[in-house]
Amino acid sequence: MKKLIMIFFTSFLFAANLINVNFFEQNGKLDILFSLDGRFTGKVIKDSKNKFFISDINSNKEYKKSFTNYFIKTITVNPSKNGILVSIDADKKYKTLVALTPDGYGVRFRIVNVKKTSVQKPQITYADNNGIDFVSYFIAVAILIILAVILWIFKKKLKTKLPLKGNLDIVFQRPLDAKNKIALIEFNKRKYLVIVGNSNILLDVFDENMINIKTQNEFEEYLQKDDINKKLDSFQKYIQNAEKLKDFDETV
C-alpha cells in the first residue's frame, strides 16, 4: 500500500501542471498550445484513430473548442490518468506534429489538413490604359532586376575572390556572423549598403555625393548610426530566433 501511495505522489511530483490551453486557427492547420508550470518530460501517444494521449501533464479541467466552416469540428482535452487525452472530431484527413517551445514550458500540438485542395486559376482582368502608368511600372521592375544582379555578382565575387570585369567595387566590408557580411559596394557611381551570405538584403542606396567614407574606421562609425543600427539589430534578432527554435516536429 505504501508503495502505491509513493508511486502516485511521484507521478505528480515530476509531472507538469496544465495552466491553460490556447487554439490558433491558420489556413489548413490548427495549433493547440499547452502552457505548463514546469518543463515537459512526457510523450505523445496515439491512443486510437482520433485520440492522443500526452503523458506527464496534470489537469483537473476539461477544455473544449468548436469550429465552424473548418476542417476540424471539435477539439476536446480531458484529464486522464498520468496525463491528458486530446480528442479530435474532424471531417477530413489530417496529420499531427508535436513541438516544444524553446524554454520547454509549452507543448505545441499541430493538426494539419492533408487533403489536397483544388487550385483555381486566377481570373485576369485588364485595366484601361489610362489607369496604369506603364513607364513607371517597367522602370521599377528594371531597377529591381538590376539590384538583384548586383547582389548576385557581389556574392559570387566574395566566394571566388577573383577579379571581376566591370566597375563593381567592394569599398568596405565587415562580418556580422559566420555566414553573413555587411558591405558597402560601388556600382556605376552609386553605393549600396548590403548584407550578403545566407541572406541577401539591400539596406540602403546612395548617390555619388551622399556619403564620403574613405577609411574602415569611418565605415565602422557609419554603421553605428541609429537607423543602420536598428536594421542590423532586427536582422541579428531574426537569425538568433531562428537558431533558438527547438522544433522537433514528430509525426504521430
Q: Where are the domains of the chain?
A: 2-115, 132-236
* Statement: residue 182 has pLDDT above 80: yes
CATH class in words for 2-115: mainly beta
Number of H helices, E strands in the chain: 4, 15
168-176: long-range contacts, CB 8 A cutoff, minimum separation 24: 171/213, 171/219, 172/213, 172/216, 172/219, 174/219, 174/220, 174/223, 176/232, 176/235, 176/236
3-state SS, 11-52, equals HHHHCEEEEEEEEEEECCEEEEEEEECCCCCCCEEEEECCEE
Is residue 32 very low, low, confident or very high in pLDDT (cuts 50, 70, 90)? very high
Are 169 and 213 in contact by the 8 Å Cβ rule? The answer is no
Is residue 177 very low, low, confident or very high in pLDDT (cuts 50, 70, 90)? confident
Interval 33-47 mean pLDDT: 90
Q: What does the angle CA 232 – CA 237 – CA 239 come to, to the nearest 5 degrees?
A: 95
Sheet holding 106-113, edge to edge: 57-58, 16-26, 29-36, 106-113, 94-100, 250-251
Collapsed DSSP state (helix, strand, coil) of residue 216: helix
Measured CA to CA, the distance from residue 196 to residue 157 in angstroms comes to 11
* Statement: residue 12 has pLDDT above 60: no
* Statement: residue 159 has pLDDT above 70: no
Interval 12-38 mean pLDDT: 85
Interval 57-77 mean pLDDT: 92
Question: What percent of the chain shows pLDDT beyond 70?
Answer: 71
Measured CA to CA, the distance from residue 42 to residue 55 in angstroms comes to 5
Report the candidate in 7, 46, 16 with the shortest Cα–Cα distance to residue 250: 46
Collapsed DSSP state (helix, strand, coil) of residue 139: helix
Q: Tell me the whole-structure pTM to 2 decimals.
A: 0.43
Span 41-59, pLDDT tens digits: 899 999 888 999 999 999 9
More confident residue, 120 or 103: 103
Is residue 147 very low, low, confident or very high in pLDDT (cuts 50, 70, 90)? confident
- The pLDDT, as a whole number, for residue 210 is 65
- The pLDDT, as a whole number, for residue 218 is 85
- The pLDDT, as a whole number, for residue 77 is 95
- The pLDDT, as a whole number, for residue 252 is 36
Q: At what angle do helices 216-223 and 226-244 cross, to 10 degrees?
A: 70
Interval 189-197 mean pLDDT: 80
- The pLDDT, as a whole number, for residue 122 is 52
pLDDT, mean over the chain: 76
Q: Which secondary-structure segment (H or E) carries 126?
A: none
Interval 143-163 mean pLDDT: 67
More confident residue, 83 or 212: 83
Supply 25's cell numbers: 486557427
- The pLDDT, as a whole number, for residue 249 is 44
Interval 144-163 mean pLDDT: 67
Supply 46's cell numbers: 496515439
